[in-house]
Structure formats: C-alpha cells, structure tokens
Amino acid sequence: MRRICFYDTKQYDKLYFDYYKEKFGFEIDYFESKLNSNTAVMARGYEAVVAFVNDTIDAQTIDTLYDNGIRIIAMRCAGYNNIDFKAAFDKIHVVRVPDYSPYAVAEHAMALLLTLNRKIHRAYNRTKEHNFSLNGLIGFDLHGKTMGVVGTGKIGRVFVDISKGFGLNVIAYDPYPAEIADIKYVSFDELCEESDIISLHCPLTKETRYLIDKKHIERMKNGVIIINTSRGALINSEALLSAIKEEKVGGAGLDVYEEETEFFYEDKSYSIIQDDILSGLISMPNVIVTSHQAFLTKEALNNIAEITLWNLKDYFDENFLVNEICYQCVRPNANRH
C-alpha cells in the first residue's frame, strides 16, 4: 500500500478519508500540524502529501518536501493561491479537487444573506434569554432587489439560480462570461453601482486581490450587503470595516478572511484575538463571520475524499492527471496557473 501523510487533520477529514483509503490502496498517517516550512520534514518516508488551503506551501516548504522524496501534493480543496508554483515547477506535481459541491458553497452564501438580512442570529440569541422583542430585527424583501454576482463558474451559476428563485434581479461580472447561461453581464463598476447585494464567487489571483477596496466601496449603494464565500483577500478588510462603521455598507456575511490562517478551523475561545480588524468585524451587529465552513456538507466531504485519492491513484498508476495545476504547462488540457 502507498503511504501518504495528511496535514491539518480534523475529525471530519478522517471520517471520510478512512472510508475510501482501502478502496484506493493507501495507508494514511494524519498530522494535526499545518503544512509549512517547519513541518514539511514530517513527510520524510511518505510518497505523497495531502494538504489544505490554509497550509503554507511556499518555496522553502516545497524544497523541504522535495528533499524528503515528495513528488506530489494533493490539495483536498479547490483553491491553490497558497502555493508557490514557480518553486514547484519541475519538482512536485500539484493536484486539486476543482468540483466537490457547488451547491454547498452557494447555499451557504444564501444562508449568510438570509441570516444577516432577517437578523436570525440576533433573534436566536434573544429568545435563548426569553427576550421576544422584535425591536431592531427589521429586514427587507429580497424580491425585486438587485443581486450582483462576481464570478460565474459552477458555484456562481448555482448561486445565480438560487437568487432568481427568490425573485432577485441578477447581474454579474466575470472577465470570462459563461457561454451557455441566462445571465446579464455588466462591468465591475456597473455591478458596484447597481447592486443592493454583492456576492463573491471568484478565485483569488493577482487581478482579483482587493477587488473590493475603498474606491469600489465608494461607488456602491448606501447600505449595500456584501457576501464572501470565496477568498478573504478579495476584500480589503480594513476598508470594509471602515465602511461598516461609517454605515456605507449595511452588512457583511463573511465565510473567509484574508488573515484567517491562524484562526479559522481552530478553537480560539480561550484566546485573545490579536487581529484588530477581525475582532472589529466580529463585534459588528451587522456582520456574520463563519470559519470557512461553506464547503462543509456530507456530499462535499465525500467528494473531496474520493477525488483526492483518485488524483493520487492516477499519479501512482502513471495516468493523465486530469486535476493537475501546472506552472508554464505546454501539454493540452492542463489547468495552467
């Protein structure tokens, strides 16, 4: 059996990967530590590494893995902005899970919007204390409002369909519009100006980093709602917090945060959060922060485990790596970075 090691392990990871490991012929050792330049040496003696979006896979980490015999990293997620592909080129293959459940993420985005708008989180806390007052719980009808969707890949298109089901008027921005889709595309500036709600469903790249910044927030409607279930650095968090304090932004539902690595997926309930911006966002009554859980459904976890191990099996069987992410790839059908 092939020996692989698994970083940043949570109980729900083990549950699904253990279910599939014998089927694919793998022996898995689970590490609680995140993958980084200090922990990469733990991969010595293994044939592959399974990593996650919040691991630090920089040049030093890659060199250490390579020196210890690792030739493939299997990302158990869709995102890969945490990887130094230039350092990995010609050394280590990188595969990912591009599609695990677009419904999981899209539905969570809508759940954030509904909870934020109808103040469900505040009502829940009140009734736990037998406070049944309705003061301060006024929301607005979604029907007839304009939803701006940024990114119309599989998740974005599912979210468009959900939004239309609520009677929202949907507009979208994507530099690569979907060819077969009943979607009205506009420029990003138009989307900012016309939307009552903006939901982000695009990858983090050099072009999309701080896509929402102070300048674009100023173009938005007063009271705009912003939802982000993609990547934290799509939003300049400092600018967002300022806009919420100034009541320019009416609310934010955030499943991601640009400096989430040290906090998300961990129990910090006995710690003082030293990140003033994150603490400020959490303290706002019109902000909901969830800890990157949009993907967390049974269906998604099952698909992540199965596809991750398929990716590794294809590598060891010397098959074409359908889900490989390449740096300067010249072969056809490659996912170029």
From the CB of residue 327, how many other CB atoms can be counted at a distance below 10 Å? 16
What are 122's two structure tokens?
Answer: 């505040």
Task: Render the burial of 23-52: b for 16+ CB within 10 Å, e for the rest.
Answer: ebebebebbeebbbbebbebbeebbbbbbb
Distance separating the N- and C-terminal Cα atoms of the chain:
32
Asked about 337 being catalytic, the answer comes back as no
108 is catalytic: no
The catalytic position among 231, 258, 306, 324 is 231
Buried b (16+ CB within 10 A) or exposed e, 274-299: eeebbebbeebebbbbbbbebbbbee
Judge whether 336 counts as a catalytic residue: no
Q: Are 54 and 260 in contact (CB under 8 A)?
A: yes
Catalytic hit among 47, 258, 260, 324: 260
**Tokens describing residue 19:** 């279910």
Distance between CA atoms of residues 160 and 183, nearest Å: 8
By three-state DSSP, how is residue 95 classified? strand
Could you say which of 108, 157, 201, 292 is catalytic? 292
d(CA 92, CA 66): 7
Residues taking part in catalysis = 231, 260, 292
